[in-house]
Chain A
């Protein structure tokens, strides 16, 4: 069963999943397989935290797991 995340940041950045460029930007719903994933952003490291481990459960495309990064 796949899950869905939505990465939120003040700027549009490519989302990095498990150290791999995902091909998707912040602000869009990303489908990914169940399990633990390490989420980060491409570009300048002017955000906090620098990476987050998530393990979303029971998500849908309309109710994705939100992963927020704050600009520093």
Chain B
């Protein structure tokens, strides 16, 4: 009987580990520059680009997802152009991190269905508890013993089956790529942002289309220590693929050249093409480790010659950036104790301090970048007006290639006017389990904060 039990356990183990379908990113044999989940060509978006709306959703678990949802709901209820459309129709990119990636990915896959079922499918759920149940299930213990199956794979299964309905990036391609969803994770080797788009996967010789969106969302939200990293294969280069000249020129300039930031950006990508022997795999974790706001992807695409915003600067009239920053400031008691923090506290702080430290700087950096660009165009117009009025009539300066108005709005709990509510929101935990009451308050606050923004009001006066 004992032998029979042992055999049964062995069979069960083999079956379960056999079912542990460790999803791998597929190889792409031949490079195609118009294939897969990449931003649409400029010619296909000319009308859409005049009012160019970019949303950036921060990390922060369900708190961030709900706050982002509230902002999107407000955009859906904001008519523009004499009521012929709503502002949500004008959203061109959603760049997201961690918790915000759930809302972004869901909208990319299911569109307005977000407003009818996302609350029940994600926001109101105790995802954390469900994950704990999966880990506690003895059937999964065997699977977790496999080197090819980790805790994060249980999370991916849960997201894939119960939230994202097993959709892949091909489904995002089929949905028209408007808005473009940029889910951001962090590459553990380079410490740099890793964005799930086909251009990123081109460098890995890989096809993003077959990848479940849940795997990208899980990578974006793989919180350090609680969840394991998500691993990918760096395949042999696809036939016909070459690094973009923006990257090779960045490398040519070296770190001590005039643009070290571009060099680092170029280097961190080039090693996965130029040195595949040393980097046969890459491992991703929470996007918040490199940029907990998701705005650096926007800055890169605005400024880089290979960027999809850069190529549209000449047609954009209104450039709108709405940053949904779900950052909190929970009461901190570490300073009250003479003893140094314990290992758990140190681990938690190590994982979270870096996520929040540079969020403000990142928002300020991208805001400055956009507003300086706007100012340059205004200076050119003012200069031409001075010449026309006072100097040599008929002399024409070469016109600036762009002329857009910039609106930057940051949704932040610090802007909540009621002190009790502000303190309550700033004390919310970072988890995938909030009460329905908390979720409803976050949704409501998201819309209210957008509504009370002076910059947003001015924008609406121009485009309503």
Contact = CB atoms under 8 A, between A and B. Distances in A.
Contacts of A17: 305
Given A23-B314, A61-B400, A35 B303 contact: no
Interface string B235-270: 000000000111001101100011100100000000
B380 A62 contact: yes
B52 to A, nearest CB: 12
Given A19-B245, A33-B262, A61-B376, A6 B398 contact: yes
Contacts of B373: 2, 31
Contacts of A36: 249, 252-253, 257
B253 A21 contact: no
A18 B249 contact: yes
Interface size classification for chain B: 35 or more
Given A17-B305, A21-B42, A29-B380, A35 B250 contact: yes
B379 interface: yes
A59 B310 CA distance: 19
A32 B305 contact: yes
A2 B258 CA distance: 10
Contact of A22 (B258, B310, B377, B380): B310
Contacts, number: 99
Contacts of B400: 28-29, 31, 61
Contacts of A32: 303, 305, 310
B306 interface: yes
B396 to A, nearest CB: 10
Interface residues of A, number: 29
Interface string A26-50: 0111111111111000000000000
A57 interface: yes
B315 interface: yes
A66 B102 CA distance: 47
Given A23-B42, A29-B400, A35 B257 contact: yes
B258 A34 contact: yes
Indicate the member of A6, A18, A33, A62 with the most B CB atoms within 10 Å. A33
Contact of B380 (A23, A53, A61): A61
Contacts of A19: 244-246
A35 B245 CA distance: 12
A2 B377 CA distance: 13
Contact of B246 (A20, A53, A61): A20
